[in-house]
């Protein structure tokens, strides 16, 4: 496990006294004002000494977004409150490992699907009581509220995170190739329909196959097929394989992975490998491998979060102005198309159980994710936190960074977005098994049926080891979060 030495201090501002504090910035909203006022009250009462330190553990990719350009947001918080941010880089690894190795963090970032394990292991705080104490709630109003906070912040009845990153999956396609008249004519002749964004996973495969031209340096797809996150590309296909949505388990926690729909979803996931660049299934070939290929114009399609639009729209991108972000395809079930998305990455703010300054940590998180402050956070250059409030989608600078079209697709996809992962204690175990078997199949060592059969058998063992009765209870609780908000 990593030692405390892996932490790298980024900035240590001079200690401030409450007398030196300045007024809140004009571009901060009510949520931020309330947080600053609460901190000042704590200092004035002697509950917290002026110049106290808040220890933050962020991944490298979060630094610019959460601290601001030239540390502007960090300096602003310190100036307003007198609370110094002691910010450290933590490894790009499951946050559970980091929290076990580094017990003195006040705030860390966690992915949506990690919450159940973190809560079950006693590594993060149920912040619901603190939210009530300071008069906060995760408002989802359509003007400037958080986008689907119930998916981003909760485990059952427990509030465990403050949303700070919006990571649903989008499909990226080469607009310039699809609008080419010769390509349109050739596609119509071959398939008898217009060349357009796919409505089903089968239509998506047709598109990818049509544009797969490795001799010309163009691959059909650059989807990730690395073991690190295989479930992320498989889950939307699986969820859409049955109406109203497919479920990983039945009410007795028996896996539902060997149904015809589940096998078809797995076959769809595996089919893309033959249209991918060589080595796509090699270890370490994550989005750091796939996204640059699309940005260089070497792939027709890819799937990732809205962060990819930021990359593809940047100066130097070969596909700038030549790509589109489309909704995920679905599956035709009983004459209608069933379509679902899910949260994949996501770096949201959690307060470790061992935090020494939990109240300050909550107030800082609420300040940072205020509608106005967070707009400045999302709009920084080189940041990797994506829009997570409705007002972000209307901000001029953010629209320029991501493109209006990508943000409109991103906005609409939340209506069909389902909770992340399995929702269970042991989520990391279940997903690791799924990832391993999907990757073994993607490498051609086993077929779709065998991959799902193996996963099903291993999931049964995990459930028995963890205790079926408790897993059934948690699964029933998780299932209630599912729905379609169209």
Give the model's pLDDT for residue 13.
32
Q: What totals of helices (H) and strands (E) does the chain contain, helices first?
A: 21, 14
Give the model's pLDDT for residue 379.
87
pLDDT band at 14 (very low <50, low <70, confident <90, very high): very low
The mean pLDDT of 113-119, rounded to a whole number, is 97
Residue 342 has pLDDT above 90, yes or no: yes
For residues 350 and 100, give the distance between their C-alpha atoms in angstroms, rounded to a whole number: 14
For residues 49 and 43, give the distance between their C-alpha atoms in angstroms, rounded to a whole number: 6
With the C-alpha atoms ordered 60, 61, 65, 71, is the resulting torsion angle positive or negative? positive
Give the model's pLDDT for residue 436.
98
Give the model's pLDDT for residue 61.
80
Burial degree of 168 (CB within 10 A; 0-12, 13-18, 19+): buried
The mean pLDDT of 286-296, rounded to a whole number, is 95
Closest CA to 78 of 134, 8, 14: 14
For residues 198 and 328, give the distance between their C-alpha atoms in angstroms, rounded to a whole number: 8
Chain segment 351-391, per-residue pLDDT in tens: 999 999 999 999 999 999 999 999 999 988 777 789 999 99
DSSP output for 128-178: HHHHHHTT------TTTPBSSHHHHHEETTEE--B-----B-EEEEEHHHH
With the C-alpha atoms ordered 348, 353, 355, 360, is the resulting torsion angle positive or negative? positive
Place of tokens 């269970």: 424
Place of tokens 């933590």: 90
Of 81-90, 273-282, 452-461, 475-484, the one with minimum mean pLDDT is 475-484
For residues 62 and 378, give the distance between their C-alpha atoms in angstroms, rounded to a whole number: 10
Q: 3-class secondary structure for 285-335?
A: CCHHHHHHHHHCCCEEEEEECCHHHHHHCCCCCCCCCCEEEECCCEEEECC
Residue 63: CB partners within 8 Å, gap ≥ 6?
Answer: 10, 87, 89
pLDDT band at 407 (very low <50, low <70, confident <90, very high): very high
Chain segment 208-222, per-residue pLDDT in tens: 999 999 999 999 999
The mean pLDDT of 248-273, rounded to a whole number, is 98
In the structure encoding, which two tokens stand for residue 235, read together?
Answer: 């889950």
Residue 60 has pLDDT above 70, yes or no: yes
Residue 484 has pLDDT above 70, yes or no: no
DSSP output for 31-72: HHHHHHHHHHHHHHTTSS-TT-EEEEEE-GGGHHHHH-GGGH
Give the model's pLDDT for residue 385.
87
Cis status of the peptide bond prior to 244, with omega within 30 of 0 = yes
In the structure encoding, which two tokens stand for residue 394, read together?
Answer: 């209307």
Of 11-15, 123-127, 176-180, 448-452, the one with minimum mean pLDDT is 11-15
Give the model's pLDDT for residue 382.
73
Packing angle, helices 427-442 and 448-466, rounded to 10: 160
Give the model's pLDDT for residue 456.
98
């Amino acid at each position: 496990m990593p030692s405390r030495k892996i932490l790298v201090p980024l900035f240590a501002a001079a200690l401030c006294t409450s007398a030196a504090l300045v007024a809140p910035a004009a571009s901060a909203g009510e949520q931020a004002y309330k947080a600053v006022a609460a901190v000042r009250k704590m200092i004035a009462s002697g509950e917290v000494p002026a110049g106290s330190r808040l220890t933050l553990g962020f991944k490298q990719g979060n630094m610019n977004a959460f601290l601001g350009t030239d540390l502007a947001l960090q300096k602003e918080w310190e100036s307003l409150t007198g609370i110094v941010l002691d910010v450290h880089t933590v490894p790009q690894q499951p946050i559970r490992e980091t929290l076990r190795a580094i017990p003195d963090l006040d705030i860390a970032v966690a992915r949506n699907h990690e919450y159940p394990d973190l809560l079950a292991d006693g590594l993060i705080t149920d912040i619901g009581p603190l939210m009530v104490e300071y008069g906060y709630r995760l408002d989802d109003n359509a003007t400037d509220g958080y986008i689907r906070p119930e998916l981003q912040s909760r485990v059952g009845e427990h509030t465990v995170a403050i949303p700070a990153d919006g990571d649903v999956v989008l499909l990226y396609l080469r607009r310039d190739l699809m609008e080419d008249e010769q390509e349109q004519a050739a596609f119509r002749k071959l398939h008898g329909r217009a060349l357009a964004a796919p409505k089903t996973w089968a239509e998506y495969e047709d598109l990818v196959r049509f544009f797969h031209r490795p001799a010309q340096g163009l691959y059909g797809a650059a989807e990730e097929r690395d073991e690190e996150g295989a479930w992320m590309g498989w889950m939307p296909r699986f969820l859409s394989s049955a109406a109203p949505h497919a479920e990983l388990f039945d009410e007795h926690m028996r896996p539902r992975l060997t149904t015809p729909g589940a096998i078809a979803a797995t076959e769809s996931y595996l089919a893309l490998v033959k249209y991918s660049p060589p080595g796509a299934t090699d270890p370490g070939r994550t989005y750091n491998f796939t996204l640059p290929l699309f940005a260089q114009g070497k792939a027709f399609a890819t799937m990732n979060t809205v962060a990819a639009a930021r990359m593809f729209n940047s100066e130097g991108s070969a596909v700038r102005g030549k790509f589109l972000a489309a909704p995920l395809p679905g599956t035709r079930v009983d004459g209608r198309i069933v379509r679902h998305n899910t949260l994949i990455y996501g770096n949201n703010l959690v307060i470790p159980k061992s935090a020494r300054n939990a109240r300050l940590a909550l107030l800082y998180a609420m300040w940072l994710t205020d509608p106005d402050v967070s707009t400045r956070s999302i709009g920084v250059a080189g940041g990797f936190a994506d829009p997570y409030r409705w007002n972000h989608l209307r901000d001029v600078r953010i629209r320029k960074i991501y493109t209006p079209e990508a943000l409109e697709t991103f906005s609409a996809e939340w209506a069909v977005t389902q909770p992340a992962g399995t929702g269970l204690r042991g989520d990391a175990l279940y997903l690791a098994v799924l990832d391993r078997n999907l990757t073994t199949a993607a490498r051609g060592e086993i077929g779709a049926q065998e991959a799902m059969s193996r996963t099903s058998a291993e999931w049964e063992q995990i459930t028995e080891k963890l205790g079926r009765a408790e897993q059934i209870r948690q699964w029933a609780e998780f299932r209630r979060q599912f729905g379609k908000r169209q």
